[in-house]
Structure 1
Amino acid sequence: MDEKSVGLVETHKVRLIDPDHPLRLQSGKTLAPIDVAYETYGRLSSAGDNAILICHALSGDAHAAGYHRPDDRKSGWWDAMIGPGKHIDTNKYFVICSNFLGGCSGTTGPSSINPATGKPYGLDFPIFTIADMVKVQKLLMDHLGVRQLLAVIGGSIGGMQVLQWAIAYPQFVRAAIPIATTTHLSAQSIAFDAVGRNAILADPDFADGRYHDAGAPQKGLGIARMIGHITYLSEQGMREKFGRGLRSAEQYRYDFDPEFSVETYLDYQGRSFVER
């Protein structure tokens, strides 16, 4: 275990919204209860003003640093950045990472039990926005006794949350550090998302969102992930990384198996995401 690691950590869970006081979402619908999974590293100052909130990307979770067990081979997803003496120094800062609303890695989302039916929400889970995610994160900060955030840091959809923090709570946030993000999706990005979403919806195993007892739409999810990874690199980046290189031969094989290196890359990303 890295001597600069935060060491063994635990994912905590707290109920921030109880059934009697539902959260009103931006859509006008309400949601309750809401549980949030989170991890913290370092200590909060007596003034409650040395906290840094880390906002994860689409498929991330609250486990940003350290290890859950002594025999863990894989550390938190941003362990290289968070820890004693690291860029986000836990000797100085109180670092928080929570699974966002709808994240389904401990925080209430479509896989959570709908109290009205006793079954997973699935497609009955209400549509929510970045603003709703941040509203729940603010409730967590209040619960932890944070009086001011020294910084909010996040990439991709996490970066969108960072921007929303700066808009919604400008006096509460001293610094906003958005990474690889945007204020809004372009028409092309919306189009890619629509194709990915429809790949999942068209998978027979999706079963109108009620697949939790029967399996999972793995084929559709894998294709959606492949589409996503096309958007994660620019055309120039694709050309520099893969070009028209073949997977393993110097000649074409003339079949429908992955032939080009870029096809192999997308195939791997789709399969590994489903397995994860």
Structure 2
Amino acid sequence: MVTLAAEGILTQQRIGALQTEAGSVIPEATIAYQRWGEFRGSPDGLNNLIIVEHALTGDSDVADWWCDVLGPGKALDTDTWCVLSTNVLGGCQGSTGPSSTHPDGQVWGSRFPAISVRDQVEAERLFLDSLGITRAHAILGGSMGGARTLEWALMYPERIDSACVIAVSARASAWQIGIQSAQISAIERDPHWQGGDYYGTGQSPAAGLAAARRLAHLTYRGEQELDERFGVSPQQGENPLGTYRDRKQRFAVESYLQYQGRKLVERFDAGSYVILTESLNRHDIGRGRGGLIKALAACSVPTMVIGVDTDILYPYHQQEHLSRNLGNLLGIARIVSPVGHDAFLAESRQLDNALRRFLLLSQSTDTGVGDYSI
């Protein structure tokens, strides 16, 4: 019998020691999770469990950031499915990360090791084992969550019946590593970073984290959307066209990006941002598997791919690459939107349709393969 936390309640589960891909050990690790809907079926066979993987600065609260697709009558129908989501290893919402307490009673801080997407998946495997679950009907996620989904399908194909990979690539591109490394640098150059050991000092690298978020947010949104919203308009009551540059006189888009930076600082830890961003730099499903094409071809899990036509962070051609090479493709869906990468969070109607299609195909023995816009 599987015993899960009360519906929607953030709960921590100890998973024991975890050895990272690079050889470090995280003792006494904890994974936080939430679930919606009742678990039905066998924990070792057919069941109704869907695992949802969140993006970089997301968390396990799917009911918050994917509220339009989770719940009775929606794509992730909680009258039918048991939806479970973890907070990623290295995060700051209940799972072990840099801001967590080390076994010696102090904060991990700079001692927290670099981790890979594979380490995140291994932590989730240990987490499911601790619950007595060895199989799930489906796993799905977008962006960093999509990377974890893809690694699940390659690392533990015998444990999932289907997968849906959204808005991600088979490996980090040089462009992605470059822009993500610039974000890490913005945090590390903040004098309050203190080598990653700012916890308990009364100071934090808030300015660096806000700058990193401004850079990142430009890759999350579409150029067309931002230009239509802001263009060259000044922020209300300000004049960025004066005789001398004045940082208090801003274009409207500058004010918007500063707002996004402040919002992240209020809810996210800079140490986790660095650790998780670095894990995306290390994302490469071909590493140790004979390269990308060989690794994708070996994927036996029925997998659907979803991309966004205006995504500049993970361009749609990267999802097309996945679809051409995956060994067991259910289909590929294209979200059409000016929003860019964040469309997998913002375009709820299109995403709801795509997820319904995925779950229908995941339950069918005659799936077929299709390429369609929603």
TM-score bracket, shorter-length normalisation: 0.7 to 0.9
Q: CA separation in 2, counterparts of 1:88 and 1:127?
A: 33
Q: Name the residue aligned to 1:133.
A: 120
Matched, 1:181 2:168: yes
* Separation in structure 2 between the aligned mates of residue 61 and residue 26 of structure 1, nearest angstrom: 23
Q: Letter of the 2:262 partner, please give it.
A: R
- Verify the 8 A CA contact 1:51 1:146 in the aligned structure 2: no
Deviations 1:55-112 (A, max 9, x none): 11111222222xxxxxxxxxx2222221122210111111101101101211001111
Equivalent residues of 2:52, 2:83 under 8 A apart? yes
Please report how far the alpha carbon of residue 252 of structure 1 lies from its aligned counterpart in structure 2 after TM superposition. Answer: 4.8
2:217 matched residue in structure 1: 229
Following the alignment from structure 1 to structure 2, what is the Cα–Cα distance between the partners of residues 9 and 188? Answer: 37
Report whether the alignment pairs 1:26 with 2:21: yes
CA drift at 1:249: 6.0
Aligned to 1:265: 256
Higher normalized helix content (fraction of residues):
2
2:147 equivalent to 1:160: yes
Q: How far apart, CA to CA, are the structure 2 residues paired with 1:252 and 1:36? A: 47
User: What is the identity percentage for the equivalent residue pairs of Structure 1 and Structure 2?
Assistant: 37
Aligned positions of 1:86-125 closer than 5 A: 86-116=74-104, 118-125=105-112
Structure 1 runs of 4+ with >4 Å offset: 249-253
Whether 1:47 and 2:47 are equivalent positions in the alignment is no
Deviation (angstroms), 1:261: 2.2
Displacement of 1:143 in angstroms is 2.7
TM-score, structure 2 normalization: 0.64
Say which SS state the counterpart of residue 83 (structure 1) adopts.
coil
What letter corresponds to residue 22 of structure 2 in structure 1?
S
Matched-pair contact (CA < 8 Å) for 1:258–1:264: no
Q: Aligned Cα RMSD in Å?
A: 2.0
What's the TM-score, normalizing by structure 1? 0.86
Alpha-carbon displacement from aligned partner over 1:132-185 (angstroms, at most 9, x marks no partner)? 101111122223333422111111111110111111112222221122212222
Judge conservation of contact 2:53–2:85 (CA < 8 Å) in 1. yes
3-state SS, counterpart of residue 120 of structure 1: coil
Cα separation, 1, equivalents of 2:112 and 2:140: 27
Amino acid at match of 1:264: S
Aligned equivalents of 2:122, 2:7: Cα separation in 1: 29
**Does 1 or 2 have the higher relative contact order (CA < 8 Å, sep 6+)?**
2
More deviation in 155-164 or 144-153? 144-153
* Structure 1, unaligned runs of 5 or more: 1-6, 66-75
